[in-house]
Chains A and B, each alone.
Chain A
Amino acid sequence: MRSIQESLITRLKVPTRKGNKVIARRCNKCGNIRNPPRTYCNICQGTEFTEVIFGPKGEITTYSSSYKRKATDIQRFFGNVRLFADNGEDSIGVGGIFNVKSIDELEIGQKVELLPEEKYNIFKLVEE
C-alpha cells in the first residue's frame, strides 16, 4: 500500500529555495512555469521540466497590513512581488513579508530583494 501511495505523490522533494533565489520549473512541452514544483504540468500534463531560477530582484505588485487586534500585537506588512529571472524575460508572482516598520514605506512598483531566509519569503526594499 505504501508503494502505491508513493507512486501517486506529485510533490517533488527538491529544493525550491537556494539562498535568496527561488528555484521553479518550466515545462519543456508548453513553457508553463510551475512553482512549487510538481511531477506534472497543470496546463498540458507534460512531465519533463527544466529548472528556472528567479530572484533575488523583484518588484512589489501590491501590499497590505496584518490586523492588529491589540496594541502589543506585532503588525506585519505583506503583499505580492513579481520576481525576475536572470534572463530578464521571465517572472513569477510570489507572496511574502516586507522588512519594513510602516506601511507608508511601501509602494507598488518599489524594487525589492528576496532575503536568504528560506522558510518564508521576506523582502527588503532596494534603494534605486
Chain B
Amino acid sequence: MRNVAVVGAGMSPFGRLDALLYQEIGRPAVNDAIESAGIDRKLIESCYYGTCGGVGVGHEIMNECGMIGIPITRVVNACSSGSNAFRLAFMDIASGMSDCVMAMGIEKMKDVTMAVVGGGTRYQIEAKAFTHGSPTSGGGGGGGGGGMAAGFALMGRAHMKIYGTKVEDFANITVKSRRNGSKNPKAEFQNIMTLQEVLDDVMINDPLTRSQCCPRTDGAAAVILMSEDYVKKHHIESPVWVKGSAMGSNFGGENELRWYKETGSPYPPGFLTDYLVAQKVYKMAKVKPQDFYDRGFVECHDCFSVSEYVHYEDFGFCKKGEASPLINDGVFEIDGDLPINPSGGLLSVGHPLGATGARQVAEIFWQMTKHKEVAKRQVPDKHLDLGLQHTLGSPGIGFTNVMHVFSRDL
C-alpha cells in the first residue's frame, strides 16, 4: 500500500446559505483547495464527493471547476458520507490506481430533517424503517419518541444513571464548542455561551437542550490527496500523511447486546462501532490513545453533547464514566492536555451531513500546517504530530463509523 498525503484544503462558510445554489457553495471550496495545494487542477485524476441530498452536484461542481471527464463518484453514508468519500480517495491512491484525487463533501439542509436528507426516497416509502430500536444506543420505536436528538437523549439519560454523569457535564461540552467556534469565522455559531445559558436553552429531548444539538447547516469542504511520488515530484512543502484509515458499522439492538454479553465488554451505553473502529485505526497507524495526549489532537463527531462525551470513552481517552472531571478541568480545550474539536465541532461549526468529514480533514490539515485559516484557534505545536478524525453516521438504521489518523511525519 502506498503512502498518501493531504496537500490542500478548502471550505465554504457554514450556515443557512439559502440564497446559494449547491455549486455556488461547492465551487469556492474546491478552488480554495486547489489553490492551497498550489497545483494545476489538471493533475486531479478522480473525485469522490459525499452528499446525502445533493444528487449530481459533485459532477456539476467539478465541471464548473474545469475538471471534465474524470471519474466522479457520489458517496452516500449519512453523516459519514464525507469521511467515506475521503477514505475512498485515500484507497484510490494507496492502491496505486491514481496519484492525485479530490475528496469533497457538500450538503444543503433547508427545510429537511436528517431522516429525509439521509433517507431520501426510502424514507418516503418506508418511513417505519427509520427506527433505531436499540435499547442502549437510542431510539424509541413502537410509538414512542423518535429522531436523532431523542436517541442521544436516551443514551445520555442511561449514562447519567449508570455512571452518575450530570447534565452539567454534557452541557460543558457545548460551552467548549462555542468557545472554539467563536474563533472560527466559518462556523455557523460563533457566540460564546455560559453553562447556565446552555442549561436554560430550549429543551429539545430531556436532557438535551437546543445548543447541545448540532444545527442543520449548509456547507461544503474539499481536500486534495496525493501519492508520495507526486508529493516529491510536485515539491509539496507541508504534506499531512494519512497513517490510518478504518471503517465499520453496527446495527444496535439485540445483536449488539449479545456482543456485549459474549465479550464481557462494559460498553453500554456508547457506540460499539466507535470502539471497534478506533482499535482498527490505532493498529494501522501504530498508535495508542495515550499518544494523542502526548502529541495529538482530535476532530470527532459531536452531533450532540452526549455523543462527544461517549466518544472520549470509546476512543480510550478515559474509562467509562470518568470523562466528567476531565471535561470540567479543561483537559480537552485547545490549550489542554488533549485538544478536541478545536474548530468548534459540529455543535458550533454546523453539520451539513455530507460535508462534515471533509471539513474535519480540512481542519486537521490547516492545524498541522499552521495555516492562517486557524490562526485564532491554533493548537499548540506539541500537539500537532498526530490528528484523529472521526465521523459517526446513522444511515436510517444502525451506525456507520469512519476514522483516520494523520501525521506530519511519514
Assembly CA distance A63 to B269 (angstroms)? 13
The reply to whether B143 and A108 form a contact with Cβ atoms under 8 Å apart is no
Give the distance in Å from the alpha carbon of A62 to the alpha carbon of B136 in the complex. 8
| Measured CA separation A6–B155 after assembly (Å) | 39
Contact B135 A96 (CB under 8 A): no
A95-B139 contact in complex given A64-B206, A67-B204, C-beta closer than 8 Å: yes
Structural contact, A120 and B143, CB atoms closer than 8 A? yes
Q: Is the interface of B mostly helix, strand, loop or mixed?
A: mixed
Establish whether residues A64 and B143, one from each chain, have CB atoms under 8 Å apart when the complex forms. Answer: no
- Inter-chain CA distance A61–B136, complex, in Å, is 8
Known: A95-B142, A96-B142, A97-B143. A67 touches B205 (CB 8 A): yes
Within 8 A of B (CB), among A85-127: 92-97, 103, 107-109, 119-122
With both chains docked as a complex, state the minimum distance between the C-beta of A98 and any C-beta of chain B, in angstroms. Answer: 8
User: A34-66: which have CB < 8 Å to B?
Assistant: 42-43, 61-66
- When C-beta atoms are compared, the residue in chain B nearest to A43 turns out to be B255
Chain A residues with CB under 8 A of B131:
95
Q: Is the CB of A64 within 8 A of B153?
A: yes
Contact B257 A93 (CB under 8 A): yes
Chain B residues within an 8 Å CB radius of A120: 142-144
Q: When the two chains form their complex, are residues B204 and A93 in contact, meaning their CB atoms are under 8 A apart?
A: no
Residues of chain A within 8 A (CB-CB) of B154 are 62-64, 79-80
Is there contact, CB below 8 Å, between A62 and B155?
Answer: yes
Quote the shortest CB–CB distance from B248 to chain A (angstroms).
18
What is the CB-to-nearest-CB distance from B200 to chain A, in angstroms, rounded to a whole number? 15
| Chain A nearest Cβ from B163, distance in angstroms | 12
A33 contacts the other chain (CB 8 A):
yes
Contact of A93 among B150, B253, B269 (CB under 8 A): B253
Bound-complex Cα distance A107 to B134 (A) = 19
0 or 1 for each of A67-78: is its CB under 8 Å from B? (1 = yes): 110000000101
Q: Which of the four size classes fits the interface of chain B?
A: 20 to 34
The one of B143, B208, B269 in contact with A121, judged by C-beta atoms closer than 8 angstroms, is: B143
Q: Does B157 contact A (CB under 8 A)?
A: yes
Tally of contact residues, A, Cβ under 8 A: 31
For A109, the chain B residues whose CB sits under 8 A away are 161
Complex: how many Å from CA A63 to CA B142? 14
CB atoms of A92 and B157 under 8 A apart: no
Q: With A61-B136, A93-B135, A122-B143 as given contacts, are A108 and B203 in contact (CB-CB < 8 Å)?
A: no
Q: Are B205 and A95 in contact (CB under 8 A)?
A: no
CA distance A108 to B269 in the complex (A): 13
**Is A32 positioned at the interface, with any CB of B under 8 Å from its CB?**
yes
B38 contacts partner chain A, Cβ-Cβ < 8 Å: no
Task: Decide yes or no whether B247 CB sits under 8 A from chain A.
Answer: no
How far does the Cβ of A109 sit from chain B's closest Cβ, in whole Å?
7
Mark interface residues in B122-155 (1 if CB within 8 Å of A CB, else 0): 0000000001011110011111110001100111
Do B141 and A95 touch (CB < 8 A)?
A: yes
Q: Chain B CB within 10 Å — which of A61, A65, A80, A93 has the most?
A: A80
Residues of A within 8 A of B153 (CB): 64
**B144 touching A79 by the CB < 8 A rule?**
yes
A80 and B257 alpha carbons, distance in the complex (Å): 14
- Name the one of A33, A43, A76, A108 contacting B145, with C-beta atoms under 8 angstroms: A76
Contact string against A for B residues 181-208, beta-carbon threshold 8 Å, 1 for contact and 0 otherwise: 0000000000000000000000111111
A12–B51 CA distance with the chains assembled, in angstroms: 35
Does B361 touch A at the CB level, under 8 Å? no
Q: When chains A and B are docked, how far (Å) is the Cα of A108 from the Cα of B208?
A: 17
Chain A residues whose C-beta falls within 8 Å of the C-beta of B135 in the assembled complex = 61-62, 80, 82, 93
Interface string of B238-259 (1 = CB under 8 A from A): 0000000000000001110110
B140, B161, B203: which contacts A80 (Cβ < 8 A)?
B140
Q: From A65, A95, A121, give the contact of B206 (CB < 8 A).
A: A65
Are B254's CB and A95's CB within 8 A?
Answer: no
B205 A121 Cβ-Cβ under 8 A: no
**B:356-388 near A, CB below 8 Å:** none
Q: Which interface residue of B143, B144, B153, B254 has the most chain A CB atoms within 10 A?
A: B144
What 6 A-B pairs have minimum CB-CB distances, sorted nearest first?
A: A120-B143, A93-B135, A78-B144, A78-B145, A64-B153, A108-B161
- A residues contacting B by CB (< 8 A) are 32-33, 42-43, 61-68, 76, 78-80, 82, 92-97, 103, 107-109, 119-122
20 residue pairs bridging A and B, Cβ less than 8 Å apart: A61-B135, A61-B136, A62-B154, A62-B155, A63-B157, A64-B206, A64-B208, A65-B205, A67-B205, A78-B150, A79-B140, A80-B135, A80-B139, A80-B140, A93-B136, A95-B131, A95-B140, A97-B144, A103-B206, A121-B143
- Given A64-B145, A120-B143, 13 more A-B residue pairs with CB atoms under 8 Å apart are A61-B158, A62-B155, A62-B158, A63-B154, A64-B157, A64-B205, A64-B206, A64-B207, A67-B204, A68-B203, A96-B140, A108-B157, A120-B142
